[in-house]
Structure 1
Amino acid sequence: MNRHHIVCVALMLGLMGWPAAHAAKLTVFAAASLTDAFSEIGKNFDAASGNTTVFQFAGSQALRTQLEQGAGADVFASANTAQFDPLVKAGQLSSGQTFARNRLIVISPRGSAAVSSLADLAKPGVKLVLADKTVPVGDYSRKTLDLISKAGTYGSDFSARVLRNVVSEEPNVRQVALKIQLGQGDAAIVYVSDVTPSLRPDVRTTGLPTRFNPLASYPIGVLAASKNAEAAQAFVKYVLSSDGQRVLKKWGFVGAK
């Protein structure tokens, strides 16, 4: 982050009523797919505010369970509303705001020819890696397969044939991508944002038509038990600001609006 951006963010935080003298240590629970974007956002935010932001990245379902069991955090950023809304209903979390959106993409090892099209996912013997169905990307993946089946493009049993090829179900999307990077599968479904600069040399991508690939919405909110509510609100506002949105788009996310 250059000096100009630090100054701009500092001015923005000042307008939010967040003086640097109130610097705090924040704990942010965030979906694994946000690892790169939020790490950069956190550095920028801390440089301007004087805060220290610590991240816990994991599958949204795992983070929700930890919060329900009393884990201490100030902010929760989930990859879907299904893991977010129950915490709101329980009074543990403020009502959320969508701060980013994402789409799915198929990845396969660059040196493998097993999967070169969407139809290939259903070929007998293909080794497919997915996230567990409780993980947001795993849920989105299965819904996408259902949409393809209903369209009849590759047969009404396309989803069933693809799911028979699943050889591993992972606890978060980064583990899914890593399996393919290491050549431990023929294909996987991940978010577009997970095709990071470090992953690109090792994988090929196969796009999913938009009609089968609805946008995944990411909500963010402040925990009711936060001991640093003012700083937590400032972090959320920064994520939603033009600077925060710029970083998210840099890492492959679609903007909040």
Structure 2
Amino acid sequence: MTIRRLAPALATALALAPALARADEVVVFAAASLADALAEIETGFEAATGHDLVVSLAGSSALARQIQQGAPADVFISASPDWMDAVEADGLVEAGTRIDLLGNDLVLVAAGADAAPVDIGPGLDLAGLLGDGRLAMALVDSVPAGIYGRAALESLGLWDGVAAQVAQADNVRAALAFVSAGEAPLGIVYATDAVAEDDVTVVGTFPADSHPPIVYAAADLATREIAEEAEFLDYLQGPEARAAFERQGFAVLVP
């Protein structure tokens, strides 16, 4: 599988070159938090079908905008229903193919392997825990993990006390990297991202009612008609993909 971290230059190249996608190749634009699960799923899908899978990973907002600008993607997996809504509103989703695929949790992580747990609620002294340090988050106005994180902090009455200390990253994996590298003492990421790093500790899970439900939506895009797109969406809902998602800590929402 080719997994691409979707840099701006690559995104532009994809948008300008729709002929890059071969007939037997499925091009998937997927939220960065799906990196490890999709790495597992690639092996099984290619072995089962003989098709090539090309995955571009980035924040869902960046991917949605590239799709709207004509990037040659076949399948979109968004960490937020809102960005799938935006793509669908532009007529870029094949009718009847959209599914709610996965759920996730939002957690507070700390640098190091032995950080003490905290009780996440209105009484949490998050500013005190940060001290002079930064709180790593994905972009709070556009990237789903950042939007969910800000919503959680606002609902708990904690946002105003730490907003000036937030270090925003292009996507949730980049926010996690800030913490694992020791550049930020704390960060807000998905639970599934936290397990991918040995150098961070989950110190608390945000209450489910403190933010909108975290739902990953997947759909076939109305860019070209190939049978391989439907095969991949079917595979995402099958037992092999379910096992891969669950190993990474996702809640699988499809029956």
Q: Same fold (TM over 0.5)?
A: yes
Opposite residue 170 of structure 1, the aligned amino acid is A
CA distance in 2 between counterparts of 1:48 and 1:142 reads 41
Aligned residues: CA RMSD: 2.0
Alignment match, 2:7: none
Alignment match, 1:145: 153
Report sequence identity in percent: 31
Q: Mapping of 1:111-150 within 5 angstroms?
A: 116=118, 118=120, 119-123=124-128, 124-133=131-140, 134-149=142-157
Contact 2:44–2:240 (Cα < 8 Å) also in 1: no
CA distance in 2 between counterparts of 1:91 and 1:210 reads 32
Opposite residue 109 of structure 2, the aligned amino acid is I
- Does 1:243 pair with 2:250? no
Q: Provide Cα deviations, 1:111-168, integer angstroms capped at 9, x if missing partner.
A: 686985542422253421111121010000011112212xxxxxxxx221022221x2
| Gap runs ≥5 in structure 1 | 1-22, 150-157
Q: Mapping of 1:66-105 within 5 angstroms?
A: 66-95=66-95, 96-105=98-107
C-alpha distance 247-125 of structure 1, shift in aligned 2 (>3 A): same
Contact 2:194–2:201 (Cα < 8 Å) also in 1: no
Opposite residue 132 of structure 2, the aligned amino acid is G
Contact 1:112–1:186 (Cα < 8 Å) also in 2: no
Alignment match, 1:153: none
TM value normalised by structure 2: 0.81
Contact 1:103–1:213 (Cα < 8 Å) also in 2: no
Q: After the TM superposition, list the runs of 4 or more consecutive aligned residues in structure 1 that deviate by more than 4 angstroms.
A: 111-117
Alignment match, 2:175: 176
- For the residue of structure 1 that corresponds to 2:47, the secondary structure is helix
| Gap runs ≥5 in structure 2 | 1-22
C-alpha distance 111-256 of structure 1, shift in aligned 2 (>3 A): closer
- Does 1:209 pair with 2:207? yes
Q: Mapping of 1:35-46 within 5 angstroms?
A: 35-46=35-46
| Between 171-180 and 90-99, the greater mean CA deviation after superposition | 90-99
CA distance in 1 between counterparts of 2:245 and 2:228 reads 20
Bigger radius of gyration: 1
